Structure 1
């Protein structure tokens, strides 16, 4: 994707993200219809569906040759990332949206022939937009994010991870993960994968570790983290499949091998 085309798509995508966020803020106290998907804690609301439908309509009107992968199923069924593909999570952190009315984000990643070109993560209620274009750096609103520090040590790291690592041994023995938490400086849980990626890029956490995320959870964040020198792989260090669910590690590159080796101690 050439620079002029990318800039034009970025400007349009940014406008739509901010507009969608404004609509959510306007309706934040309206009654919601809340349903569940894969399990009782996998929530979807009328606002998730309305927001995704908004993006799909705009993209189809303005870029009919582009493809869409969306969490709520309004997009295309793809077997490859050929061409330009928008990967959208209309509300990442739906449980936070429902229960807290904050700490959720709109996440839009735009890929061309499998390469992440544009990433937008919008913390709707805080009105903070994390954004990046490939090779042009990453930003928090208008402020450019600094490259990640290269001297972070394992025992000084703050890592984002949720409680499943400590009580669910499907991937890694929970006792190993309990020791992992004891050996790092601290852990945090924010309830939104997109925001966790943004915080890694900002450098306020040094990594984020999760058992299973879909492409729409990570697509924008990968682009943003890349632009500050971070790395994103599965928990074995392998390349992610952007058409399937993955275990995910995104972090300061100085920590990647230490974390992967620690996880391998407890792998099933």
Structure 2
């Protein structure tokens, strides 16, 4: 993607993210409908749907040749990484949005022919925007994030993980996960994959591990972590596929091999 074109797309996306964030904050002062999707804990609200529709309308009117992958049904049927694809989660951390009114984010990853070019992760209630342009580094608001430390060790690491221990027909060896918890300084679960990627990129968390994420959960974070020298793969060590669900290990490179080889084992 040409630099001038990428900058134009980024500028529009950033403007739309801030506008969407303001709309979400306004909606939170009103009552809104809460529904479930795949199970009672898989929540969706009319705010999720309205926010994705907002982005879909902006993208299609401004960039009619671009494609959209979204969580709430306003996306396209995308079977190839060819062209420019916006991968959007309008509210990543809907359960936090419903119960806590905080700790959720708008997440947008923009890919060109399979290459991650632009990332935006907006912590709506804290008004913190994480951004990245390929080859230009990552930012927290206006501050450029430093490259991840080369001094990190597993025993002094903070690891993010969620409670999902199964992927497809395989299940993680719980004893190895328990050992990982014992061998690190501590574990955290924030309930928003996008924010957990952002915290890894910021260096305030050293890894995030989960056994099932959809493209809209990780598309932006993948780019963000890469721009600060981090590592993101599937839990098997295979490359991430941005068109399907994946297991995910994203972390400081200094502890990547240890996590993959010593603690991730499938039954």
Bucket of the pairwise TM-score, normalised by the shorter protein? over 0.9
Work out whether residues 179 and 263 of structure 2, in 8 Å CA contact, stay in contact via their aligned partners in 1: no
Work out whether residues 129 and 140 of structure 1, in 8 Å CA contact, stay in contact via their aligned partners in 2: yes
CA distance in 2, matches of 1:191, 1:35: 18
CA distance in 1, matches of 2:228, 2:88: 22
> Residue 170 of structure 1: CA displacement?
4.7
Other structure's SS at 1:40 match: coil
Other structure's SS at 1:72 match: coil
CA offsets, 1:1-30, max 9 Å, x none? 010000000000000000000111112121
CA distance in 1, matches of 2:138, 2:191: 22
Kindly report the root-mean-square deviation, in angstroms, between the aligned alpha carbons of the 2 structures.
1.2
TM-score after normalising by structure 1? 0.97
Work out whether residues 172 and 263 of structure 1, in 8 Å CA contact, stay in contact via their aligned partners in 2: no
CA distance in 2, matches of 1:162, 1:62: 37
Work out whether residues 165 and 177 of structure 1, in 8 Å CA contact, stay in contact via their aligned partners in 2: no
Segments of 4+ moved more than 2 angstroms: 163-166
Q: Tell me, yes or no, if structure 1 residue 191 matches structure 2 residue 200.
A: no
| Structure 1 gap ranges (5+) | none
> Residue 68 of structure 1: CA displacement?
0.2
Other structure's SS at 1:164 match: coil
Counterparts of residues 4-153 of structure 1 (less than 5 Å)? 4-153=4-153
Work out whether residues 235 and 263 of structure 1, in 8 Å CA contact, stay in contact via their aligned partners in 2: no
Work out whether residues 213 and 247 of structure 1, in 8 Å CA contact, stay in contact via their aligned partners in 2: yes
TM-score after normalising by structure 2? 0.97
